[in-house]
């Protein structure tokens, strides 16, 4: 019998690495991507021949196409696509942000995700089966100061996924968005430009989600019977919830 193939973007850290490990342990052949070759190689050594590394930047459409074209025939029929590669850069208010950071988030979280989806989905539709899991965020739904473009890219991911599901209706292909809250990965180190102390503070004295928690959700969605589609799945640590609407107040001149 043909082994199931999962293509997971961004397996060199965080959710992607944990998902690659868990899917591999469930018997999937995992094609794992990322820009850091040495991390891909060390993950490959920890797994088995059922792991195939692909080193490329999702922001480069030609590199995406070339990498996927380089796969041997048995790995071209992707049963599960996990669009996970992504990042946040900065937490400044919009008017103080670095425009390059905004462009990097748009190029990675939006353009990279749609490029991979466009390359992989036709074969799934042709075969009449497959699952696409897009990693969004609670930032897609709940605004917070400093989320500006990051949250907007994730809102795109959530809405794109719903629209993709509408387009693929009747094709047998499933589409799910997973929207995690606070989770400890390399996310905050990247967001704060390598400032590990600031990143550590984001997770201090609280029970955050782990990469393994999110990977479990990915595996659960992927392993459900083929007639079940989870549309959106939002998860947070118990220690996180919602803020009130802030009201700006200042004394009014009543004269």
SS3 40: helix
Q: Does 36 sit near ligand NDP (CB under 6 A)?
A: yes
With CB under 6 A as the contact rule, the residue among 22, 52, 84, 117 that binds ligand NDP is 84
Task: Write down the catalytic residue from 142, 144, 150, 208.
Answer: 150
Structure tokens that stand for 226 in this block = 């083929």
Backbone dihedral angles phi then psi of residue 45, each to the nearest 5 degrees: -70, -30
Give me the sign of the Cα torsion angle 114, 12, 70, 29.
negative
Q: How many other C-beta atoms can be found within 10 angstroms of the C-beta atom of residue 108?
A: 21
Contact between 215 and 180 under an 8 Å Cβ cutoff? The reply is no
- Provide the pairing of β-strand 173-180 with 130-135: parallel
The Cα–Cα gap between 138 and 196 comes to 23
Residue closer to ligand 8X3 (CB basis): 147 or 219: 147
Which one of ligand 8X3, ligand NDP, none is in contact with 230 (Cβ closer than 5 to 8 A by kind)?
none
Residue 52 or 184: the one with the smaller Cβ distance to ligand 8X3 is: 184
- Please say which residue, 122 or 243, places its beta carbon nearer to ligand 8X3: 243
Contacts to ligand 8X3 from residues 108-137, by CB under 6 A: 137
Q: Show the binding pattern over residues 95-124: x = contacts ligand NDP (CB under 6 A), - = does not.
A: -------------x---x------------
Is residue 138 at the binding interface for ligand 8X3, with CB under 6 A as the rule? yes
Cβ closest to ligand 8X3, residue 63 vs residue 190: 190
Among 8, 31, 34, 97, binds ligand NDP (CB under 6 A): 34
The sheet that has 5-8: what strands, in order across it? 51-55, 29-34, 5-8, 80-83, 130-135, 173-180, 232-235
What are 110's two structure tokens? 């939006």
* Residue 35 interacts with ligand NDP (CB under 6 A): yes or no: yes
Q: What angle do CA 54, 105, 93 make, to 5 degrees?
A: 155
DSSP assignment letter at 138? G
Q: Which of 44, 50, 57, 103 binds ligand NDP (CB under 6 A)?
A: 57
Interface residue with ligand NDP among 20, 183, 199, 222 (CB under 6 A) is: 183
Decide if 150 is catalytic: yes
- Contact flags string 162-191 toward ligand 8X3, x per CB under 6 A: -------------------xx---------
Helix residue ranges per DSSP H, the chain: 14-25, 37-46, 61-69, 99-105, 113-127, 148-168, 187-191, 196-202, 211-223
**Pick from 50, 59, 76, 127: which binds ligand NDP (CB under 6 A)?**
59
Q: Which residues bind ligand NDP (CB under 6 A)?
A: 9-16, 34-36, 39, 57-59, 84-87, 108, 112, 135, 137, 180, 182-183, 185-187, 190
Query: Catalytic positions, please?
Result: 150
Q: Which residues bind ligand 8X3 (CB under 6 A)?
A: 137-139, 147, 181-182
């Amino acid at each position: 019998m043909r082994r199931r193939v999962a293509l997971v973007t961004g397996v060199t850290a965080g959710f992607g690495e944990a998902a690659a490990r868990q899917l591999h342990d469930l018997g999937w052949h995992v094609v794992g991507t990322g820009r850091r070759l040495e991390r891909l190689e060390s993950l490959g050594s920890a797994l088995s021949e059922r792991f195939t590394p692909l080193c490329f930047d999702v922001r480069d459409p030609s590199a995406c196409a070339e990498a996927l074209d380089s796969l041997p025939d048995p790995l071209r029929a992707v049963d599960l696509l996990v669009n996970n590669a992504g990042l946040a850069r900065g937490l400044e208010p919009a008017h103080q942000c670095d425009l390059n950071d905004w462009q990097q988030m748009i190029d990675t979280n939006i353009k990279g995700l749609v490029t991979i989806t466009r390359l992989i989905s036709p074969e799934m539709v042709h075969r009449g089966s497959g699952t696409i899991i897009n990693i969004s965020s609670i930032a897609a739904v709940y605004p917070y100061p400093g989320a500006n473009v990051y949250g907007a890219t994730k809102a795109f991911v959530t809405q794109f996924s719903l629209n993709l599901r509408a387009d693929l209706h009747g094709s047998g292909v499933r589409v799910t968005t997973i929207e995690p809250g606070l989770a400890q990965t390399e996310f905050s180190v990247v967001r704060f430009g390598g400032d590990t102390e600031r990143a550590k503070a984001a997770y201090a004295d609280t029970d955050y989600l782990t990469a393994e928690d999110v990977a479990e959700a990915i595996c659960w969605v992927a392993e459900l019977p083929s007639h079940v589609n989870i549309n959106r799945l939002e998860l947070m640590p118990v220690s996180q919830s919602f803020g009130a609407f802030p009201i700006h107040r200042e004394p009014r001149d009543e004269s």
